[in-house]
Every structure is written in C-alpha cells, then in structure tokens.
Structure 1
C-alpha cells in the first residue's frame, strides 16, 4: 500500500545539498509549490556553498549542512530539527550521504526518484517514488516532485535574490563598461574534463570586442587550474579587453556580475545555470555532458552541442545506445568544440536579445 500524500501540505522539507547548477534548477519547483499553496512552509536542507548563493530566497527557510563536518554535522542538524515533523520530505539528492542524513529527519512521507533515476539505492530510503520520466532535463526531474504532489501550474520561475551589496561588488569590479562574462572552468573535480581551450576563449573574447565592443570578464574560483587558465587567456588577447576576477568574487557577487552581463559563455557548470535563472543570455559549451539533460534550460537553442560526436568518438557507441546522462570522461572531448561554433552561437544569441530589446523599446513621441 502506498503512503498517502498530503492534499494540502503545511510544511515541506526539501533535501538537496549540491551543486550550484542543480540548486538553481530546483528553484522553479519551489516557486510552483508556493503558487499552489501560498501559505506552505518550506525548509530546504542545503550545502554551505549553495546556501551562500541562494540566501534570501523568498519564502524559504534554510538549514545548512556542511558536508566537511561528516557525521558530527549530521548529528548537529538532527538535533536542530528534532522538534520538527514535516508533512512531506522531498528527497532530491541522489547520494548515499544525503540518504543517511534523511534518516534523522521526521516526515510523514518521504518522496524520492523512481528506480530508473535513483542512484545509490535511494529508493530504499523513501516511501513514494516519482512516476517514470525517461530522458528528462534536470529541471524537469525536480519539477516531477511538484507534479506528484498535485501542483497544477509548472511554469518555471526563479526570482533569484541579488542583494545591493552584491551589485556594488560587481560594479566596483567592472564599472559601467558593457561586457561578456566567461567562466572558463568547471568544478576542478577528478575526471571532470568539461573545460574548453584557452585559445578558444581568447578568440571569442577578441570577437566580442571587435564585433560588439564588449570586454570580457573572466570569473571562477581560486584554484590553481582556474588561475592558470585565466592567465593563459590573458596572454592570448589584448590586455585592455580582459577583466580578470577569477578567485576575486563572492557567489552573490558572481550572481550580480552575471545579471549585468550582456551574455555568458561557459561549459556545463554553475554559471550557465545561474545565468539561466537570471534570464541572462548564455552559450553553454557541451561535449562531455548531454545538453538535453543539463543545458541552461531557457537557452537550450544556443548550446554548442558536440556530445553526440564525443559519444561516437570516445565511447564508440551511438547516443541512443548509452544510458541517459552518461558522461564522456575523456580529456580530449571538449576539443571537438570549434571556435567558429561558439562565435556563431554567440552572434545568434546577441542578435536575438538585441532584437528583443528593440521590440520592447517604446516608440518615440
């Protein structure tokens, strides 16, 4: 017998700890829940860095779990929530760590992914599973939780908070110059292989300057890999068209930089989904991950997609022969992306957004 779902939940727990791009894609699900039940209380159990990005999200209470604290941190979180019982727990993190964390939370019903999408035996830790949804985008997978609860309006909305302090941080770095933002590196995890070439980024920066008068802001974390990438790009371009802020911003500051940018160019990483959430035009660079699953949702038509070619070249299979979401973990896969591909997508993107702005301008009296 299936556990019954609440007809009108009063208090919903959301368990999703990471990552930056994923939590951006989850926000529309919360907005859908809030539209359906304006008085619902939502408590989001979230990672430390992800909280620093989303702090201030309207109508959401955050409980932060720092995964570096391990079991001790879990116990502290369990103590913090010991007196709270949720009508429903939405278990949106497919990881054993998160499933163990969920055991210390009190909920009438626990909802997780269907077996096809669940990882690390997540379905063992939940009462109810989502309906099957083959080939779903990440954002749509999250929205399936709202759909299961009976939410009717599933239109994606974000309303991401960008505080004045972040706007001032961004303004101090860039002044009033128009710019293209590039975040050249994905998270420097083992065997990630999502980074494009410094030569490619440099050529796109030169094109943005000569064709549109846009400087390029380089963003990223402070890792050695990211700093070296920034230095390499600068060495290949005119120094006066690059503003290098790699390792020099807060996450909210980066959010403000993205909000002010004319466009964003980046591989599959947090910044493409941050741009998507803010409505900033973005060209995503995809070869090692499937853009049908993980592209910036509102800008999927402007992705540079070399994933099918990478699957054929490095996995020696057709895309339909592999599991949904399988990554191509080969260091040369991103080299399949050509500079002309990126420039063509960027031109199309900036032309479209310019035309849209022209249509929105009122006629002169």
Structure 2
C-alpha cells in the first residue's frame, strides 16, 4: 500500500547533489517549503562543490556526499543518517547514483519526478510523483515538488548567503568602476559544446567598454581550457577593458563579484543561475540547449536563442519534433550565435534595467 504524504511534515529531506546551476534553481522551492512549514527541519543531501556554494543557507541542514568516494561514501552517509527518519524525501536528482543513494535513506514517503521527466528510471525509486507538466523550466520542475506537498505560495525568493569575506575577496579582483561579469566557459564535460568564441566575447567586451563604460571581469574555474580561453579573450581586448579573474575566486567570491556587477554574461552554466539568484541582470547564450528550459529564469526574455537554428542545422528537425530538454551535441553549434545579436541583447538588457533595482523576487510561470 502506498504511504500517504504528510499534511504537515516535521522533517523534510531533499536529495539533489548537483550541479551548481540546478542547486541555485532549487533554492526557491526550499524557501516555499519554509514559508509553508516554518518549524519543519529541512535536510539537504548535496554534492561537495555545491555545498561550498550554498553553505550558510538559512534554515537548512546540509549532509555532503562527495561522488568521487563512490559506494564507500554512500555507506558513510547511510551510517551518518542511520538514526534519522524523514517524513518525506524529495528525490530531485535524475541519476542512477542518486537513486541508489536514496535506498539507504529512511523516509515514510518519497516523491520523485513524473515518468515523462524521470531519467534513469528514477520514478521506480519513489512512491509519489509530481504532476506531469510539458515543457517546464527547471525552476518550475523543482517547485512542482513543493506543490505536490500542498504548498500554494510559489513566489520566488533566494536570499543566497554571501559572507563579508567573499566581498573582501571580490574587491581584490574586481573593479572600482562599473563592470560586467563574463563567465565564458561551461563545465568541461564530454561532448558539452556550450562555449562561445573568444572573438565573440572580445567584441562584446569592446562594445561594453566603448558604448557603456563597462569594464569586463572574466571568471571561471582553474582548468587549463578555461585559463586558455581567458588568455585568448584578454589578448583580443583593449588594455584596461578587461580583468582576467579566471581561476582566481572561490565560489563565494564569485557570488560577491556577480552581486556587484551591472550585468552577467554566460553560456548554459552555473554562474548564469548564480547571477539570476542574486537578481543581477543576466544574458544567457544558448544554442546547444533550450533556453525555455534552462535559461536564467528571471531573464529568459534576454537570452540569446540559437537553439532552433542548431536543431535545424545539425539535427534536421524542428524544436517541436524533439523530446523536451534534448541537447544539440555538435562542436559548431555555438558558432550560430552572432556577435551583433549578443550586443543587441546586451543593449536591451542594460536599457531595461537602467532605472530599476535587481529582480530578486518573482512569480513562477504557470504556462
């Protein structure tokens, strides 16, 4: 017999290990749960790097799982939580590793994705499922878990913790003048193909510098590929127009840099959603993934969308013919993004936000 969902849960578990952008997109769901049941404990089982980004999130107890530790780490986590029983487990990671990890957690009821959205047979590891929703943004999919529990107030709030030490760190790297953050590279994974060109970024940097008086701060991790990209961009730019901080910040320091930026530009990668969570105007660059599903949620209207062109060019189909969320895994897809399109979107975004405060609150799109 399927267990019933609690009307008023006392202890809620969230299982979402990765990635940086996804955990940022999940925070509004946490805030919705907290508004509905302010006395409930929330335990979030999260990845190591993702925890370093969200550490200090108010009202949340984190349990960290390092995926590099494999089954040994799972067993250690199971022992750590062996005396803990949750009223409900929100299984929000569509990966077989996470589903195996969930088997060692004690919960009276488990909620997962509906069958259409569940990857790696995730729906088989839960008794309850969120309501089906076609063509949902990631933020909306996560909020459906709160709705499944009975939450009605789905207004958006993040309130990401950024300690003073992070602002001190950002001050050592950033600019005293108005600046924009450009995070040019996505996570270096096999067949990712989400990065735009150094030449394109350099042209946008020149436009921002000449037309808007904005310096650009390049950010990213310390991988060889990211550092090489930063060096190529910097070599193409006017002296004084760009600060290369790639590999030079912690994740909290990156948050602080983004928080004080006039605008952020990035492809489909975590810092785009970090900027969105902070209310910083964000321009996302999309060709290999669908921005209707994955763009910075509050700034979807300003995303550069070459995805339909990429689908036609490399898959010989239309977007409507594809499963929702399918990527275009072709190394030339991001070249379909034109520099003049990015510049036009940047101008529009700067004009739109010239006399407004950051949009740190919002309402979910129910369409």
Specify if TM > 0.5.
yes
Residue 25 of structure 1 is matched in structure 2 by 25
| C-alpha distance in structure 1 between counterparts of 2:357 and 2:19, whole Å | 32
Q: Gapped runs of 5+ residues in structure 1?
A: 359-365
| C-alpha distance in structure 2 between counterparts of 1:232 and 1:190, whole Å | 22
TM-score normalised per structure 1: 0.97
| C-alpha distance in structure 2 between counterparts of 1:355 and 1:71, whole Å | 52
| C-alpha distance in structure 1 between counterparts of 2:262 and 2:175, whole Å | 14
**What is the DSSP-based 3-state SS (H/G/I as helix, E as strand, rest coil) of the residue aligned with 2:356?**
helix
| C-alpha distance in structure 1 between counterparts of 2:357 and 2:204, whole Å | 23
Residue 338 of structure 1 is matched in structure 2 by 338
Residue 362 of structure 2 is matched in structure 1 by none
1:248 matched to 2:257? The reply is: no
Residue 98 of structure 1 is matched in structure 2 by 98
**What is the DSSP-based 3-state SS (H/G/I as helix, E as strand, rest coil) of the residue aligned with 1:240?**
coil
Aligned CA distance change for structure 1 residues 357 and 51 (closer, same or farther; 3 Å) = closer
**Mapping 1:1-365, distance limit 5 Å:** 1-356=1-356
Contact 2:194 2:267 in 1 (8 A): yes
Q: How far is the alpha carbon of 1:10 from its aligned partner?
A: 0.3
**What is the DSSP-based 3-state SS (H/G/I as helix, E as strand, rest coil) of the residue aligned with 1:356?**
coil
Q: Gapped runs of 5+ residues in structure 2?
A: 359-367
Instruction: Tell me which stretches of 4 or more aligned residues in structure 1 moved more than 6 Å.
Output: none
More moved, 126-135 vs 12-21: 126-135
RMSD: 1.0
- CA deviation map 1:310-364 (0-9, x unaligned): 1011000011001000000000100000001100010011111113259xxxxxx
Q: How far is the alpha carbon of 1:3 from its aligned partner?
A: 2.4
| C-alpha distance in structure 2 between counterparts of 1:323 and 1:301, whole Å | 22
**What is the DSSP-based 3-state SS (H/G/I as helix, E as strand, rest coil) of the residue aligned with 2:75?**
helix
Contact 2:158 2:278 in 1 (8 A): yes
TM-score normalised per structure 2: 0.96
Contact 2:175 2:215 in 1 (8 A): no
| C-alpha distance in structure 2 between counterparts of 1:3 and 1:312, whole Å | 46
Q: How far is the alpha carbon of 1:175 from its aligned partner?
A: 4.2
Count, aligned residues = 358
